[in-house]
Amino acid sequence: MHRLRLLLALLLAPALTGCFASGGAEGSSGDAKSGSRLRVALAFPPAENLSPYGADATILSRLGVTESLTALDANGAAAPALASSWRQVDDRTWLFTLREATFQDGTEVTPAAVAASLTHATEASPAPAALSGVTLQAKADGSTGVRITTANPDPVLPLRLSSPSLAILAEKGYDEKGAADPVGTATGPFEITEVTGTTSATLDRYDDYWGGRAQSAGVDVKFIADGAARAAALRTGQTDLAEAIPVAQAASLDKATRRETATTRTTSLLLNAGKGPFADPGLRAAARRAVDTSALADGVYEGHADAGAGIYGPAVTWAEGKRKQPAGRARATAPDGTKVTLATYDNRPELPEVAQVLKQQLEKAGFVVRLEVREYSRLESDALAGKFDALVLARNTLVDTGDPVAVLASDFSCDGGYNLAQLCDRVVDRAVAGAEGVADTAKRQDAVMAAEAAILGTDAVVPLVHQRVITGVGTSVRGALLDPYERTLLSTGTRR
């Protein structure tokens, strides 16, 4: 019976596992070295004890640990994952059919377990970004179905459920306070067996994975915040895959090991609109006028990025043709020595240099700027609490759900769970809410760009550059998954 289940799983496995493959064909398990393990260097250490509800969610999905009901395919559409199919029952109700799978603790992935997992996510505080402004209820429906009902019509629910922050975990992955722990409770091809603080993690192959046995025996992960050190680890053969190679280090890698991927990531200057100097719209306008984005794209990023055009960049192919001019901008106020604190993090090595250039540009305009650089895990809580006047942030605009409305709701609405700009504007909230309710794809895109214009009109966010990410891939590595949403890196076919 087990062999039959494995055969069916292999036949039904979604095309996603090959959508972004960058090392040739997946091949068979016989191609891999016996017992070989992958060595991976990641830029961001766990910031929230590997909870899937925050920034750590993409660490888990990139390493092949967690899965959601759906995934994103190469075109950004919802694809099967733990759900093999779904249908819309009415404007507020969807029925998802589960595939046969098990959690890494050996228990079955049942409708009751999935419904309970999603319920935990709805009760998390702060709410996962994918659920910003959304109320849903999940219930078991028969032996294979999960019925999900939303308080308001949600035309992109299958996309929303692809979010790494809505990963499905076994019952024992939650404590009585609702905290989520993916260690040994997820469903992916690799299982976390050991975590050493914020320095390393060990993953072993999960042999009963529904999508087939992974070709690598496991993964040894090191969290290396220093970009030069990540590049050096790849160059000297100490690691097989190194993410987020700094632009300054790109030339030090052999061309055969350097992969550049256009992404939906935009680096922006966020201005604290809730308190401090930038609560004044006139000073926000003065800061925006002081910024020269071309100096960043051509200088700091050495041409590996495009000058900021909006919240969405060139990788969101439909955005430019629908972009609207920002409306309602305030008249700039002379800074006259206004003191501000500008913060960023060094996990993405270009960001401190970006912040240094911005410091010079702002000071030239009349601001007095104090620069603060930390590692991201030591920065996030203070940023969410609004303790900085300005923040340089690199944000993948489609990472949360694949739906462009989601980042607007989470980052710029009054109730947004990742509102680092501390923005609360009625015009913006109305525009975002209007976009959330549009089902037609083209009309939804139009509404998204109208909301973008309203947000940019507040000057709470100044888009700086749209990034291309450089990943270091060892010449012996096959099947690494490099996608514009930065959700994937390892799968069953990733090997050396």
- Domain check: are 61 and 157 in the same one? yes
- Dist. CA 472–CA 190, nearest whole Å: 21
305 in Cβ contact with 314 (< 8 Å): no
Instruction: Please choose, from the candidates 492, 493, 486, the residue with its C-alpha nearest in 3D space to the C-alpha of residue 470.
Output: 486
Please tell me the predicted confidence (pLDDT) of residue 258.
Answer: 95
Q: What is the DSSP string of 263-327?
A: EEEEEEEEE--SSSGGGSHHHHHHHHHH--HHHIIIIITTTSEEE--SSS-TTSTTHHHH-----
Residue 64 Ramachandran class (φ > 0 left, ψ -120 to 50 alpha, else beta): left
Is 168 inside a domain boundary?
A: yes
Please tell me the predicted confidence (pLDDT) of residue 347.
Answer: 87
Is 415 inside a domain boundary?
A: yes
- Domain check: are 287 and 415 in the same one? yes
Domain limit, last residue, from 164, 188, 212: 188
Is 430 inside a domain boundary?
A: yes
Is 237 inside a domain boundary?
A: no
pTM for this entry: 0.77
Locus of tokens 């620069």: 371
| Token pair of 330 as six digits | 């305030």
| Token pair of 150 as six digits | 């939303």
- Domain check: are 178 and 272 in the same one? no
148 in Cβ contact with 138 (< 8 Å): yes
Is 213 inside a domain boundary?
A: no
Our count of domains for the chain comes to 2
- Domain check: are 181 and 308 in the same one? no
Residue 14 Ramachandran class (φ > 0 left, ψ -120 to 50 alpha, else beta): beta
CATH of the domain at 170: 3.40.190.10
CATH of the domain at 430: 3.10.105.10
Domain limit, last residue, from 161, 188, 215: 188
191 in Cβ contact with 166 (< 8 Å): no
- Domain check: are 9 and 143 in the same one? yes
- Dist. CA 263–CA 465, nearest whole Å: 11
Please tell me the predicted confidence (pLDDT) of residue 177.
Answer: 84
Please tell me the predicted confidence (pLDDT) of residue 57.
Answer: 94
- Domain check: are 167 and 266 in the same one? no
Domain residues for the domain of 400 are 262-469
- Dist. CA 381–CA 358, nearest whole Å: 23
**For residue range 56-76, what is the model confidence (pLDDT) as tens digits?**
999 999 999 999 999 998 778
pLDDT along the chain (496 residues), means of 10: 38 38 35 72 92 92 97 88 97 97 98 97 88 91 98 92 96 91 97 95 98 97 95 96 93 93 93 98 98 93 92 91 94 97 93 97 98 94 97 90 89 94 97 90 94 98 95 96 91 95
Is 489 inside a domain boundary?
A: no
Domain limit, last residue, from 172, 188, 204: 188
SS3 68: coil
- Domain check: are 166 and 67 in the same one? yes
Please tell me the predicted confidence (pLDDT) of residue 483.
Answer: 85
